[in-house]
Amino acid sequence: MENRQLAAIFRRIADLLEIQGEVIYKVLAYRKAADSLETLPVEARRYWQEGRLREIPGIGQAIEEKIDEILRTGRLGFLERLESEVPPTLIEWLRVPGLGPKRAGTIWRNLGITTLEELEKAAREGRLRNLPGFGEKTEANILAGLEALQRNRGRIPLGQALPLAERILQVLRAVPGVERAEMAGSLRRMRSTIGDLDLLVASRQPQPVMEAFVRLEGVQRVLAQGETKSSVEFFDGVRAQLWVHPRERFGTAWQYATGSKDHNVRLRERALARGLSLSEHALTRLEDGQEILCAEEEEVYAALGLPWIPPELREDRGEIEAAASGRLPKLIEIAEIQANLHAHTTWSDGRLSVLELARAAQRRGLKVLAITDHSAGLGVAGGLRPEQHQELRREIEAAQRAVGDSLLLLHGAEVEIRADGTLDYPDELLAELDVVIASLHSGLNQPRERVTERLLMAIRNPHVDMIAHPTGRLFPDRPGADLDMEAVLQAAAEHHVALEINAHPSRLDLDDVYARAAAERGVLLSINTDAHREEDFDTLRYGVAVARRAWLTASQVINTWPPQRLLAWLKEHRHP
Q: What is the pLDDT along the chain (576 residues), one digit of tens a residue?
A: 678 789 889 999 999 999 998 888 899 999 999 988 987 878 899 999 999 999 998 999 999 999 999 999 988 999 999 999 998 788 878 877 668 888 999 999 999 999 989 999 999 999 999 999 899 988 988 888 787 777 656 688 899 899 999 999 999 999 999 999 999 999 999 999 998 999 999 999 999 999 999 999 888 889 999 999 999 988 777 899 999 999 999 999 999 999 999 999 999 999 999 999 999 999 999 999 999 999 999 999 999 999 999 999 999 999 999 999 999 999 999 999 999 999 999 999 999 999 999 999 999 999 999 999 999 987 767 789 999 999 999 999 999 999 999 999 999 999 999 999 999 999 999 999 999 999 999 888 888 999 999 999 999 999 999 999 999 998 766 778 999 999 999 999 999 999 999 999 999 999 999 999 999 999 999 999 999 999 999 999 999 999 999 999 999 999 999 999 999 999 987 665
Letter string b/e over residues 191-211, b meaning 16 or more CB atoms within 10 A of that residue's CB: bbbbebbbbbbbbeebeebbe
Is residue 171 within 8 A of residue 196, CB to CB? The reply is no
Give the pLDDT score at 260. Answer: 96
Question: For the chain, how many residues are written?
Answer: 576
**What CA–CA distance (Å, rounded) separates 62 from 25?**
14
Dump the DSSP string for 338-365. Answer: -EE--B--TTTT-SS-HHHHHHHHHHTT
User: What's the number of CA atoms in the CB half-sphere (13 Å) around residue 308?
Assistant: 12
User: CB-hemisphere CA count at 13 Å for 518?
Assistant: 30
What is the rounded CA–CA span in Å between residue 344 and residue 349?
7
At 154 the pLDDT is 63
The pair phi, psi for residue 59, each rounded to 5°, is -105, 105
Amino acid identity for residue 333 in this structure: E
CA dist 400 to 159, 341, 356, 409, 532, Å? 32, 16, 11, 6, 19
d(CA 218, CA 379): 39
Residue ranges and CATH numbers for the domains of the chain are 3-152 (1.10.150.110), 156-245 (3.30.460.10), 256-311 (3.30.210.10), 334-574 (3.20.20.140)
Q: Cβ(391)–Cβ(398) under 8 Å?
A: no
Beta-bridge partners for 375? 384
Separation of first and last alpha carbons in the chain? 57
CA 366/CA 387 separation, integer angstroms: 29
Return d(Cα 111, Cα 93) in angstroms, integer. 14
Q: Is 128 left (phi over 0), alpha (psi -120 to 50) or beta?
A: alpha
3-state helix, strand, coil in the chain (%, to 5): 50, 15, 35
